[in-house]
Each structure stands twice: as C-alpha cells, then as structure tokens.
A = this chain, B = another copy of it.
Amino acid sequence: MALLGIDLGGTKLAIAIILKNGEIIHKETVPIGKRTGSDVGLLITEQVVKFLEKGKSEGNTVEAIGISVPGIAHPGTGTTWVPNIEGWEDYPLLEEVKSVSGTIPVSIDSDRACYILGEVWKGNASGCRDAIFLSVGTGIGAGILINGEILRGSNDIAGCIGWMALQRPFSEKYRNCGCFEYYASGEGIAKVTKSDLTDNEEYDGILMHKSIDAITSRDILEAFEKNDSLAVSIIRQCVEFWGMAVANLVSLFNPEKIIFGGGVFGPALPLLPDICEEAKKWAQPVGMKQVTLTGSALKGDAGVYGAGYMALKSISGSKK
C-alpha cells in the first residue's frame, strides 16, 4: 500500500510513489514544456493513470493521492488558481483527477502548504505542531502550520508574506509585488541590483562585467562571497529584511521552527546566523528564544513529500 505525491512546478511535474513510512520508491519528472490550460491537466491525469497502474503491478497499490500546486487551492470547490499556467484561474483540477482515480481520495494544496507538511513529515520540522516554511525563490511565500493544521485564512490565501510592509513610506514600486518581495526575493534582488548598477557610475566591481539583463540573485550571492561592494550592500539589506520578516513571524505566531527554502536558500543559507541576529533585535524576546531557524532538509523534494503526507493524512483518520 502506498501514496502518490505529485508536485506541479513552474516548468516540470514531479510524481512519486511513496510508502507510508515516507520512503520514495519511484520518482519521475516530466517537463511541462509549452503546455497551457487543459493540456497541463491532461498531463497530470495521464501520469496519475500511469503511476496507479505501476503501483498496482509492483504490489504498491496507491491508496491516496496528494497534489501540490504553485498557486492557490480551494478545497471547497476543488479548483486551483495557478498564475503561471494560462487558463488556470479557476481550474477544476480535483474533478479531473478524480475522473481517473475512481474511489482513491485526492487532496490538493498550495506548494507552500506542501513544503511545510513535507518538512514536518520527513524533514527539519519533524514532530513540530507550529512551524513555518519561508520560501524565497522568484517570489516569497510562507507555508504556516498552526497546531498541526495548515493556516488557510477565510479564502485560502493566507501566507502571502511577500506583501509584508517593512519599509515606510509606501513606494509605487511595491505595488505589484509587495514590499518584502520587492527587496528580498530572487527576482527582487536581481531587480534592485540592476537599478543600482544603472544609478551607480563609480562602481566597477564583478557585477559590472556581467550582462546587466542576465544577472540573477545567484550571481549577486557569489559576488557577495567575493566581498564585492555592491553585492555586499544589497545582500546586507536583504539580511535586514529577512531578519525583520523572521521577527514578525516569531512575534505573531510563536513557532518552534522557521525553515528557509526556495531557490535563494539554496545559496543564501550561510546567512542564517546573520538573519537570526537581525531578528533577535526586533522580535518578542521570549518567542525568539523558543524558535530555531534552519534550511530545508528536502530541497527540491519538499513538494512531493508534502503532497504524499497530505495524502497520508487524508486516509489516516488524523485531522487534516
């Protein structure tokens, strides 16, 4: 008996057969390519059919399916909103998957929710009831676990921490992405750097020798390692914002753990002690003593593990 964990990403679909003890016994990754709308749905249902068959033939019959999506999932209607897939404003994913899964239960949730569930099941938040996954990639989001349950909010859009206000007064440049994301996401770091390169005529460091449009947060973190002056000032600023965000999560949620993940953490993980020092200045001091900051243990597999755990919870009788 096994679980099917599916992680729909921006460019690829990962799908894994997972035993109930958390062991992945088979995993495949399929590129999404140029698919949009119902073709993405079709890719998922084809893979579900294939993996259900595979599980059965190998004696690991799938009992429950979990799906992580890079957007918002509405459990009430079974629809999902995925901004990066054209035609997925209100996509009936649950209905489509159920059409091929028969009586096997299907659960769908946002990637950030699945990330923290994965870390609780098999990663660095093992055993936690109150933990937060701070995902810093192209954008920034938080998967928030409260007393063992995912924080959903009144309309399933809780955890939009990229919109956190941390720097007054308001500036128009925050309007489309949020203040925290503007400064401290992967895309934000690259954007701030490009703007600084354009404004700063005296700088002649490492980043000057890159094509300005191709600069990524990884380049800037590498330049920071080499003590490049511009990269140092930009990353120091990010540490401040990340520290303030941690402080605000601690003061509001009093969590046991905050797990850093996403494409930026990754290479920014050595900054965790500095982020912790910054957070200590701001946060409610008792709560700050009780929290641990750490990186993701599961990296790119957090989504399939979380989807698998969600599937397990759906049949294990424990409260979802």
Contacts and interface: CB of A to CB of B under 8 A. Distances in A.
Interface string A114-153: 0000000000000011100000000000101011010111
Given A160-B284, A175-B281, A151 B248 contact: no
B130 A153 contact: yes
Contact of A174 (B147, B151, B255, B282): B282
Nearest to A167: B168
A255 B130 contact: no
The interface size bin for chain A is 35 or more
A251 B161 contact: yes
Given A154-B129, A290-B154, A240 B160 contact: no
Contacts of A240: 168-169
The complex is assembled from copies of this chain, and their number is 2
Interface string A209-245: 0000000000000000000000000000000110010
Contacts of A169: 240
A252 B167 contact: no
B157 A286 contact: yes
Contacts of A158: 252-254
A70 to B, nearest CB: 16
10 contacts: A153-B255, A155-B287, A160-B254, A165-B244, A165-B247, A165-B248, A166-B168, A168-B240, A174-B281, A178-B282
Nearest 4 pairs of A and B residues by beta carbon: A153-B254, A165-B244, A163-B251, A160-B284
